[in-house]
Amino acid sequence: MATRGKWGSRMGFVLAAAGSAVGLGNIWKFPYITGVYGGGAFVLVYLGFILVVGLPIMISELIVGHRSEKNPIGAFQNLDGKKSIWQAAGWLGAASGFIILSFYSVVAGQAMAYIFKSFAGFSGSPDQIVAKFAELKTNPLLSIMWHTIFMGLVISIVIGGVKNGIEKWSKILMPALVVLLLGLTFYGVFFSDGGKTALAFMFKPDFSKLSSEAILSALGHAFFTLSLGMGAMITYGSYLGKKINLPRAALTVVFMDTIIALLAGIAIFALVFEYNMEPAAGPGLIFETLPVLFAQTGPFISVPFFLLLTFAALTSGISLLEVVVSYFIDEKGWSRLKSTLIMGGTIFFIGLLPALDKIQVMFKGKRQSFFDIFDFVSTNYMLPTGGLIIALFVGWKMKKNIIESENFNSKDWYYNAWRFILRFITPIAVIIIILHGLELI
Ligand code: PFF
């Protein structure tokens, strides 16, 4: 077996895990789904899921990875002692990795395209700026070109391995992104006319706007944004080696991820309301609203913004590919190079479907692009199902003494709270919501 990679330091691990969690999910997806599902009530439900589903499963994935030092498929076998049914979570996770990265790369490509548009500068009325995004999205050649470039970057960084590739980049880029977002939020709240309305939109819940699809999406997004339910955190935990306080590491990652999503939401909705734009515009929201502001500030702000958005997407994209690659390295003895090229190449080809906006099929009673279908199915069903299996495994199957050796003490109140939530509340919540989403209850 090839030697497994290891993080260089505890801090490097936490930043890499945060780098996986913080990505397009926070800055692109959270604001747009908050807009689509009507604001405050959706945000509240989402925050609730982060606490009772996300945090407990994050701790569980890290424990499984750290303890087994294996990829998600091998991890369950290692801990259960035989070929085990629990491995299904690992297989489902690998499948989710394929699907998510294939559409993730398309949005990341759009962010990259906007770096170049920023250099040229944005101009014209808000309507003209909005139209520019549609031009990019519906242009097959450009979409494929940017998808290819993004996948090429992800593949080359993953070939470099965990310490040189993943850890080094996360250390520099995460803090830079936070500073820039703070600046944009500060502008939104204190200098734009939309700041107050944005805060009310995001934090004053109106439960009459909360549909059952909104609740399913809030659950799915809690998984997506924290990189949970597909073994990314199992994989990152497996490279840890050292002893570390896993609950605290999980709390740090969850906190950073949530703050960044909320900051991005405030910054973007401040602009939406300042320029009388449509909060429910959908997946194009950040590409349509921010450039209206950037038309006034110039490339000085817009170039760094889209550059950092691309980097945030890269550190997450890397973790999506790493899950699949680690399996072939650990279990099949492939070299990192071979594993990355073959798996990255396959995902690239799958990604041609979501990259082409014109290819549409019937799904849930309407014509939809592969982009929308891949996103909906992986986020709302595959990740929660994977997460459910992980919660059941750690909550009910794993031995208590093994868990307690991972920096937990059975006398700590938070240990008992975590275990209780993980065993009862998390699985019940996930099962009810998935079944309801499938219209079975
Ligand atoms: N958490 C990432 C984001 O919010 O952009 C997306 C993601 C990365 C999902 C890795 C799942 C994953 F395993």
Q: Per-residue pLDDT tens for 222-257?
A: 999 999 999 999 999 999 877 889 999 999 999 999
Which token pair is 86? 């629990």
What is the pLDDT at residue 1? 39
Give the atom of ligand 1 at the shortest distance from the alpha carbon of 224: 9
Is residue 5 situated within a structural domain? Answer: no
State the Cα–Cα distance between residues 162 and 185, nearest whole angstrom: 32
Q: Is 10 exposed, middle or buried (0-12, 13-18, 19+ CB in 10 A)?
A: middle
Cα atoms found within 13 Å of the Cα of residue 35, Cβ hemisphere only: 29
**Residue 161's domain spans which residues?**
10-437
| Torsion sign across C-alpha atoms 25, 26, 28, 33 | positive
Site to probe by mutation for ligand 1, drawn from 27, 32, 50, 224 as the one with most ligand atoms within 8 Å of Cβ, is 224
Is residue 188 situated within a structural domain? Answer: yes
pLDDT per residue rounded down to tens, the chain (441 residues): 346 778 888 888 898 899 999 999 999 999 999 999 999 999 999 999 999 999 999 999 999 999 999 999 999 988 987 778 899 999 999 999 999 999 999 999 999 999 999 999 999 898 999 999 999 999 999 999 999 999 999 999 999 887 776 777 777 778 888 998 999 999 999 998 999 999 999 999 999 999 999 999 999 999 999 999 999 999 999 998 778 899 999 999 999 999 999 999 999 999 999 988 899 999 999 999 889 989 988 898 899 889 989 989 999 999 999 999 999 998 899 999 999 999 999 999 999 999 999 999 999 899 999 999 999 999 999 999 999 999 999 999 998 888 988 878 788 899 999 999 999 999 999 999 999 888 888
Residues forming beta bridges with residue 363, ordered by sequence position: 366
Site to probe by mutation for ligand 1, drawn from 26, 29, 314, 319 as the one with most ligand atoms within 8 Å of Cβ, is 319
Q: What is the CATH number of the domain that holds 245?
A: 1.20.1740.10
What is the pLDDT at residue 173? 78
Is 20 a pocket residue for ligand 1 (Cβ < 6 Å)? yes
| Torsion sign across C-alpha atoms 48, 54, 55, 57 | positive
Is residue 107 situated within a structural domain? Answer: yes
Is residue 3 situated within a structural domain? Answer: no
What is the pLDDT at residue 12? 85
What is the pLDDT at residue 2? 45
- Which of 253, 222, 223 lies closest to 236 in space, CA to CA? 253
Is residue 2 situated within a structural domain? Answer: no
User: pTM of the predicted model, to two decimals?
Assistant: 0.95
Count how many domains the chain has. Answer: 1
Ligand 1 centre to CA of 227 (Å) is 4
Is residue 82 situated within a structural domain? Answer: yes
Ligand 1 centre to CA of 191 (Å) is 32
